[in-house]
Amino acid sequence: MNRKLFNWISELVASGPDRNTTRHASALVREVIERYRCGHLNKGRLVFTAQDKLELRRRVREETGFDPLGERLPDDRLTVAKHHANEKLAGKPVSEDYLLLNSPDGALCINGGRITLQPASIMAAGVFCPSSGIVTVEHDVLVVVENLPVMSLCHAFEMPQSVRRALWVYRGDPKTGSKIDVCRAFVDRFGANKTVVVFSDMDPKGLEIALTMPHANYWLGPVPESWQTWLKKQEVGNSDGYYLQSRSMTYLKRLSGAGALSEPMSALIACLQNERSSCRQEHMYSHKIELGLLPIR
C-alpha cells in the first residue's frame, strides 16, 4: 500500500458505492486487481461492482486502519505509524509539512503553550516543526519572512513593537526543507483573523511576494522618508537586483495603475522604478535601517 494507491481506491469507492464503475486499464488498476482480487475485465475496460467496492473498503480498512470512503490519510507520519507499518502513507511527505518559526521577543505562543527561545544569546533560526501539528496560534500578528538568514536575526531589527511580539514564519524556498506552499497554507489557515505582515527585500520580487501572500495587510520595510537615501547609497542600493526582476515590476505597475494598492505602496513602487535600485533585507540589518509598516491595500 502506498499513498497514491490509497487515494485512487478512495476515489473509486466514493464514485457510486452502490453501482458498477468502469476504469481504463492502467498499471495502478492492475495493481488493485492483483493485490485485492477485486474487479474484472470487460471489453477492454476494468469493471468494479458494488460488491468489489465493499470488499476493497474492508481490505484497505483492515490493512491501514483508515476507511477509504470518508477518511483521508493523516498529514503526519507519526499518526500513520500508529496504524500502519509504512509511515510514508502520510498525506504529506515530510518535506511538505515543515515550517521554520521564530519570534523576536523569544517566545512562540502556539497550541495553547509558550515555547521559550533565546534569540539574543544564540543566533538560532527558530523552531523547525510540522505545520500539521499546529492547532492554534496565540500571536495576533504573523510575519512572513522572505530570506532564511533573517530568521536568526529577527530580534535585531529596528522595527515596531507589534512585530516584535509576532510569530515569524519563513516563506521557504526550493533549497531548504521548508517549502513555499507550506508557508502559504499555514498563513491561509491562521491569517484570516490576524494581522499578516510580509517582511521581504525592498525590490520588485519582494513586493510581489507581499502582494500575493494570503491575508497580507502590511509590508515591513524601510520607512518612506528613507527610501531614496538607501536606494541611492552605493553600499546598499542594488541595481542588478532591480533589472533582473522586470516581470515582477510589470505586475506591480499593473496593480498600481488599476488603483488596487494603497497610496504608500504605489509610492514605493514608483520610487523603485525611478531609482532603478533595490535594498535587500541583509542590508537593512547591517545598516540598522529603521523599519515601518506599509499598508498594502
| Same domain, residue pair 234 and 106 | yes
Over the stretch 36-67, which tens digit does the pLDDT of each residue have? 888 888 887 889 999 999 999 999 888 888 88
Question: 115: exposed, middle or buried (C-beta count within 10 Å: 0-12, 13-18, 19+)?
Answer: middle
Higher per-residue pLDDT: 249 or 122 = 249
Closest CA to 289 of 153, 140, 197: 153
Kindly give the residue spans of alpha helices, DSSP state H, lying in 131-287: 148-151, 161-164, 180-190, 204-212, 227-232, 239-243, 246-257, 263-275, 281-286
* CATH number, residue 259: 3.40.1360
Question: Residue 118 has what pLDDT?
Answer: 63
Q: Give yes or no for a contact between 171 and 209, defined as CB atoms under 8 angstroms apart.
A: yes
| Same domain, residue pair 31 and 109 | no
Higher per-residue pLDDT: 121 or 125 = 125
Higher per-residue pLDDT: 179 or 55 = 55
| Same domain, residue pair 7 and 30 | yes
Over the stretch 132-177, which tens digit does the pLDDT of each residue have? 889 999 999 999 999 999 999 999 999 999 999 999 999 998 666 5
- SS3 assignment, position 108: strand
Higher per-residue pLDDT: 37 or 191 = 191
| Same domain, residue pair 132 and 248 | yes
Q: Is a pLDDT exceeding 80 seen at residue 121?
A: no
Question: Residue 94 has what pLDDT?
Answer: 56
Q: What residue numbers bound the domain in which 13 lies?
A: 3-89
| Same domain, residue pair 168 and 264 | yes
- CA–CA dist 265, 278 (Å, integer): 15
Question: What share of the chain has pLDDT > 90, as a percent?
Answer: 57
Phi, psi of 123 (to 5 degrees): -80, 70
Higher per-residue pLDDT: 181 or 217 = 217
Question: Residue 104 has what pLDDT?
Answer: 93
| Same domain, residue pair 112 and 175 | yes
Higher per-residue pLDDT: 131 or 222 = 222
Distance between terminal CA atoms of the chain?
Answer: 48
Question: Residue 97 has what pLDDT?
Answer: 81
- Domain-ending residue, one of 68, 89, 110: 89
Over the stretch 71-96, which tens digit does the pLDDT of each residue have? 776 665 656 566 555 555 565 555 56
| Same domain, residue pair 115 and 76 | no
| Same domain, residue pair 108 and 46 | no
Question: Residue 132 has what pLDDT?
Answer: 85
Q: What is the mean pLDDT of residues 234-254?
A: 88
Task: Give the count of domains, the chain.
Answer: 2
- Domain-ending residue, one of 66, 89, 112: 89
- Domain-ending residue, one of 89, 104, 125: 89
Across 191-201, b (16+ Cβ under 10 Å) vs e yields beebbbbbbbb
- CA–CA dist 202, 206 (Å, integer): 6
Task: Give the type of residue at 247.
Answer: R
| Same domain, residue pair 50 and 64 | yes
| Same domain, residue pair 282 and 139 | yes
| Same domain, residue pair 210 and 72 | no
DSSP class of 191: G
Q: What is the mean pLDDT of residues 268-279?
A: 95
Question: Residue 266 has what pLDDT?
Answer: 98
Question: Residue 66 has what pLDDT?
Answer: 80
| Same domain, residue pair 105 and 68 | no
